[in-house]
Amino acid sequence: MNRKEIAAHLNSAITQLVPDLFDIVANTPVIKMEKHDYVTRQEEAEKPKYRLQLIAACVGVMLIMVVFAGWFQFYAVESVITLDINPSMEITTNRRNHVLRMQAHNDDGSLLFNDPDIKNKDLNTSVKNIFSSILQMGYMGNADDIVLVSVQSKNADSAVKLQNRITKDIIAFLKETNTEALLLRQTILPDNKLKKLGAEYNISLGKSNLIRQMAACDSALNIADLAPLSLQELMQVIKEQEIELKEIGLDGIDIRISAYDGAYDSAGDEAHPPVPGNGNGKGVAGNGGC
Q: Is residue 51 part of a domain?
A: no
Residue 39 lies in a domain: no
What is the DSSP annotation of 121-156?
Answer: SBHHHHHHHHHHHHHHTTS--STT-EEEEEEEESSH
- 87 lies in a domain? yes
- Residue 154, pLDDT score: 84
Buried b (16+ CB within 10 A) or exposed e, 105-121: beebbeebeeeeebeeb
Percent over 70 (pLDDT), the chain: 67
Q: How many domains does the chain have?
A: 1
Mean residue pLDDT across the chain = 77
Q: Which residues contact 237 (CB under 8 A, 6 or more apart)?
A: 214, 221, 226, 229
- Of all residues in the chain, the percent with pLDDT exceeding 90 is 30
Residue 269 vs residue 144, higher pLDDT: 144
Asked if the structure places residue 112 within a domain, the reply is yes
pLDDT digits (tens, 9 = 90+) for 67-95: 655 555 656 888 999 999 877 888 998 88
Q: What is the pLDDT of residue 273?
A: 41
pLDDT at 19: 66
- The answer to whether residue 272 sits within a structural domain is no
The per-residue pLDDT for range 247-260, each reduced to its tens digit, is 898 888 877 644 44
Rounded to whole angstroms, how far apart are CA atoms 149 and 250? 10
In single-letter form, the type of residue at position 54 comes to L
**Is the pLDDT at 39 greater than 80, yes or no?**
no
Q: What is the pLDDT of residues 163-180, one digit of tens each?
A: 999 999 999 998 899 888
> What pLDDT was estimated at residue 271?
41
Residues 6+ apart with CB under 8 A from 143: 180, 256
In this prediction, residue 262 carries a pLDDT of 43
pLDDT digit string, tens, across residues 182-241: 999 999 988 999 999 999 998 999 999 999 999 999 999 999 999 999 999 999 999 999
Quick check: is 21 in a domain? Answer: no
pLDDT at site 269: 43
In this predicted model, which residue has the larger pLDDT, 25 or 143? 143
Range of the domain at 195: 78-255
Asked whether residue 11 is assigned to any structural domain, the reply reads: no
Q: Say if 131 falls within a structural domain.
A: yes
Mean of pLDDT values over 138-159:
89
Angle at 165 between CA 159 and CA 168, to 5 degrees: 140
β-strands 251-255, 146-153: how paired? unpaired
Asked whether 255 and 172 are in contact (CB, 8 A), the reply is no
* Dihedral pair phi/psi, residue 104, rounded to 5°: -95, 145
Tens of pLDDT along 94-117?
888 888 888 877 666 666 666 555
